[in-house]
């Protein structure tokens, strides 16, 4: 796999920022292409994928649990006075549930996941790169891209939707608890309100986009780590730039995907 550093160096060396921007975009595109090409070629390294999924799950479970619960709690606490003011308190459970399902849970979970995971992958692969572990794999005739990158990207892509569903569930519980405290909400009533207002047209696009977000977290972290150079400093750089880049790309894709999903499932 040939990465584009040299190509752009010739033409863009006059502007380093612009040069770096183009290198990253092209690099990610090539990386993406390479992943899609290799994902279907055996060996599938299933045990590696499982191992990474396990690790990611364990690593993000606590922070994601707290987040999920707090999102629900806070969004209901914030919205309640507003709904009361407009005389619409009946709609409170349904409306907050919809905003949680459609936007808050997927995006916030993805951003937290990016912060925790893409930096971790960037540091892991970055240190493997600078200590020549990736080269060592290559000279033992093992495809390091497949073994290290593809397996991680599959794992992040699979695990984020699961986490998001879990966060949605917890936030809705959090919302219920806020309402119980403030107005002694009945659980049956709350459950019915939520279930009748949230439709498949809310759930499907929102869960689908988390596959994309998971993929972004995996590919950006891996890319930054895989191309790291310059010793320990390079590892640090890989890890921090991965978070920033992954978060930005997630928000960018969110905007695009929301637009597309509104065209497919109009409200």
Partner 1 sequence: MAVVELIKIENLSKAFGNKVILDNISLNVYQGENLVVFGQSGTGKSVLLKCIIGLLKPDSGNILIKGKSVVNISNKDLNEIRKNTGFLFQGAALYDSMTVRENLEFPLKRHSKISDDEAYEKVVNTLDLVSLKDAVDKMPSELSGGMKKRIGLARSIITDPEIMFYDEPTTGLDPISSKEISELILDLQKKLKMTSIIVTHDLNCAHIISDRNIFLKDGKIAYKGKIEELSKSDDKFLKNFFSNEIIH
> Can you tell me the distance from the alpha carbon of 64 to that of 108, in angstroms, rounded to the nearest whole number?
9
Q: For partner 1, give the closer residue by CB, 15 or 131.
A: 131
What is the number of alpha carbons within 13 Å of residue 141 lying toward its C-beta?
0
Nearest to 223 by CA among 49, 9, 4: 4
Q: For partner 1, give the closer residue by CB, 142 or 260.
A: 142
Determine, following the binding rule CB under 8 A, whether residue 239 of this chain makes contact with partner 1.
Answer: no
Total residues in contact with partner 1, by rule CB under 8 A: 15
Cβ at position 143, least distance to partner 1 in Å:
8
In the shown chain, the binding pattern of residues 102 to 131 toward partner 1, with x for contact by CB under 8 A and - for none, equals: ----------------------x--xx--x
**Placement of tokens 């509104």 in the chain:** 262
Choose the stretch contacting partner 1; rule: CB under 8 A; options: 56-64, 132-140, 160-168, 179-187: 132-140
Residue numbers 137-156 binding partner 1 by CB under 8 A = 137-143
Q: For partner 1, give the closer residue by CB, 110 or 148.
A: 148
Residues that bind partner 1 in the complex, under the rule CB under 8 A: 124, 127-128, 131-133, 135-143
């Amino acid at each position: 796999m040939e990465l584009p550093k040299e190509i752009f160096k010739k033409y863009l060396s006059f502007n380093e920022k612009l040069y770096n921007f183009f290198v990253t975009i092209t690099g990610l595109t090539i990386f993406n292409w390479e992943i899609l090409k290799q994902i279907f070629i055996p060996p599938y390294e299933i045990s590696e994928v499982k191992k990474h999924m396990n690790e990611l799950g364990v690593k993000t479970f606590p922070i994601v649990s707290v987040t999920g619960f707090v999102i629900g709690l806070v969004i209901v606490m914030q919205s309640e006075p507003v709904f009361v003011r407009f005389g619409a308190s009946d709609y409170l459970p349904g409306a907050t549930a919809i905003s949680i399902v459609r936007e808050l849970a997927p995006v916030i979970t993805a951003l937290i996941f990016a912060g925790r995971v893409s930096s971790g992958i960037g540091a892991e692969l970055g240190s493997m790169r600078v200590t020549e572990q990736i080269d060592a794999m290559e000279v033992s005739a093992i495809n390091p891209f497949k073994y290290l990158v593809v397996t991680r990207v599959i794992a992040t892509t699979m695990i984020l939707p699961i986490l998001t569903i879990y966060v949605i569930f917890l936030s809705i519980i959090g919302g219920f608890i806020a309402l119980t405290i403030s107005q002694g909400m009945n659980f049956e009533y709350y459950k019915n309100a939520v279930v009748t207002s949230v439709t498949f047209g809310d759930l499907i696009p929102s869960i689908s986009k988390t596959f994309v977000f998971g993929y972004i977290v995996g590919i950006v972290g891996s890319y930054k780590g895989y191309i790291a150079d310059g010793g320990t400093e390079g590892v640090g750089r890989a890890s921090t730039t991965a978070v920033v880049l992954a978060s930005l790309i997630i928000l960018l894709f969110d905007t695009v995907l929301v637009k597309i999903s509104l065209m497919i499932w109009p409200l």
